[in-house]
Structure 1
Amino acid sequence: MSVWNVLWLIIVSFAFVAYLFLLFAIITDLFRNHQSSGWVKAIWVLFLFIFPLLTALIYLIVEGNGMAKRSAAAEKQSRSETDDYIKHTAGTNPATQIADAKKLLDAGTITDTEYQQLKAKALA
């Protein structure tokens, strides 16, 4: 196998993997789009399998802005759910933080000003 054949194989493999990423991104966006009907989604998927590259390019042109907005909204929702889960699991709600700081104040571990700082931080 010559160097050019190896280089060509690398380029074609990269293009194929890039196309697969694009295909999965489009299919994910299709099912994330709640404004389109099921028939429209079915037509897009059908054309993605019949004319894959052309349909992918047309979809990016037609739905590119909506794709970005839906992706950002999904990321924001996912981050919010993760933060809520971490807060719930860790038990670090403001009331717990203030109660822990009050225990430290009562034990004499921290001063009143440090307690007020911790309380203000928990309520922020």
Structure 2
Amino acid sequence: MSGSVTLAYDYPLLGVFWTTFWLFMWMLWFFLLFRVIGDVFRDDRLNGWAKAGWIIFVIVLPFLGVFVYVLVRGRGMGRREVSRAQAQQEAFDTYVRRTAAKDAPRATQADELTKLSQLRERGDISDAEFQQAKSKVLH
């Protein structure tokens, strides 16, 4: 072996931290870049030309483009994300309610009559009220 071999213990601890820091910063940068691109496409108020302009700006000059986008449209970016999350939650809640309503067991006439007789036995309703409610259930 004619070349020098770098072993793990030859790499200083500060070098490990520095490398980890830069790796983290690159991952953060790509996350922010994709977040900006996604926000451009999700924004309903931008027309096609404005979207194309922002995308070209972000692709041609990525650091400056993302920096300017966050400065100019950053506040709206947060609002759009919150409204999108709320819309997703409302859609999910609606779906759950609709599905639960379909699968919920329907009260049969026998169940209704049982409840009415329990109410009459406890004295919560009179015999006349029981007969009136019973006739509604049976018809």
For the superposition of Structure 1 and Structure 2, which TM-score range results when normalised by the shorter chain? 0.7 to 0.9
Query: 2:90 matched to 1:80?
Result: yes
Aligned counterparts of 1:9 and 1:45: Cα–Cα separation in 2: 30
CA RMSD after TM alignment:
2.8
Residue 56 of structure 1 corresponds to which residue in structure 2?
66
Q: What is the count of residue pairs matched by the alignment?
A: 109
| 1:106 shift after superposition | 3.7
Is 1:11 matched up with 2:21?
A: yes
Query: Computing the radius of gyration over CA atoms, which structure comes out larger, 1 or 2?
Result: 2
Q: Deviations over 1:31-74 (max 9, x none)?
A: 11111121211121112122212111110110012111211111
Provide the identity percentage. 27
Q: 1-side partners of 2:33 and 2:110: how far apart?
A: 56
Query: Given residue 15 of structure 1, which amino acid in structure 2 is its aligned partner?
Result: M
TM-score by length of 2: 0.65
Q: What is the aligned partner in structure 1 of residue 133 from structure 2?
A: none
State TM-score, norm by structure 1: 0.72
Instruction: Please name the residue that 1:107 is paired with.
Output: 114
- Corresponding residue number in structure 1 for 2:126: none
Q: Which ranges of structure 2 fall in alignment gaps of 5 or more residues?
A: 1-10, 120-139
> How far 1:90 sits from its partner (Å)?
2.0
- The 1:7–1:92 alpha-carbon spacing in structure 2 relative to 1, beyond 3 Å, is same
Unpaired segments of 5 or more residues in structure 1? 113-124
User: Which residue number corresponds to residue 40 of structure 1?
Assistant: 50
Relative contact order, CA 8 A, sep 6+: which one is greater? 1
Partners of 2:14 and 2:57 lie apart in 1 by 34
